Amino acid sequence: MSWQGMYTLFYKELRRFGKVALQTVLAPIMTALLYLLVFSHVLNEHVSVYNGVSYTAFLIPGLIMMSIIQNSFANSSSSLVQSKVTGNIVFVLLTPLSYLEFYLAFLASSIVRGLSVGLGIFLVASFFVELPLHNIFWLLIFAIFSSAVLGSLGIIAGIWAEKFDHMAGFQNFIIMPLSFLSGVFYSIHSLPEFWQLLSKFNPFFYMIDGFRYGFFGVADVSPYLSLLVVSSFWLGFATLTLFMLHKGYKLRD
């Protein structure tokens, strides 16, 4: 392992999204805040999900995890697509970094961006409602694993995409629908039986449900099942990502 080389690439990725923090960090926080203000104002007095938990409190963990998911994916995918389109990916490929070091550097930067956005939303939302912390271990493990899943998927999408239109299609037709239909704004127990069953095939649902369990100690499914699903997806995407990097798919040709 070339720790210095891997750290250098990791630091380069941090600087990349840090230079435009207004767009990469502050903008997602503002978007989540707008969702919170609108939905909590309209539904807080009319919707009850868990006993003793207001709808506003229920909504915040979902918004945090949705933002973590979207920003972890956007970090690695946008970096690779931009590098490929502008041609400067060659300067990364020429370095004596193994495909594992390449993967870990991009993955770590995606996790940092996702957690930064999630922490920002949590701090801002704390001014509106007091959130309980049932188990911080579950919060951290679901936040990190979910960021890792979407960071890996972002690398896969970035390698596959040949132009910005491809990435926009991936974001708009896969990431956005799955994140919005994963229980961010509702409990799946409020859905008809068919849609409950369908929701359980959505991996984002397990990320959000497990993360919400860390706050309230209540979830729609067992947190151990959610952790198993999320970690399995990470292992699967990590294996596929490493295979694509090892073969140089759409990078070295």
Query: Does 70 fall in a domain?
Result: yes
Residue 46 φ then ψ, to 5°: -115, -15
Cα dist from 110 to 18, 39, 55, 69, 221, whole Å:
12, 28, 30, 10, 27
Q: Is 145 contained in some domain?
A: yes
Does some domain include residue 85?
Answer: yes
Question: The pTM is what?
Answer: 0.93
Residue 164 C-alpha from the chain's centroid: 20
Residue 28 lies in a domain: yes
Q: Is residue 83 part of a domain?
A: yes
Total number of domains constituting the chain: 1
Domain that holds residue 202: 3-247
Asked, for residue 253, whether it belongs to a domain, the answer is no
10 Å Cβ neighbour count for 16?
Answer: 17
Is 227 part of a structural domain of the chain?
Answer: yes
**Burial status of residue 57 (CB atoms within 10 A of its CB: 0-12, 13-18, 19 or more):** buried
- The answer to the question of residue 252 being in a domain is no
Can you give the pLDDT of all 253 residues of the chain as single tens digits? 788 999 999 999 999 999 999 999 999 999 999 998 888 777 666 666 777 778 888 889 999 999 999 999 999 999 999 998 888 888 888 888 899 999 999 999 999 999 999 999 999 998 888 888 889 999 999 999 999 999 999 999 999 998 888 888 888 899 989 988 888 888 888 888 888 889 999 999 999 999 999 999 988 899 999 999 999 999 999 999 999 999 988 887 6
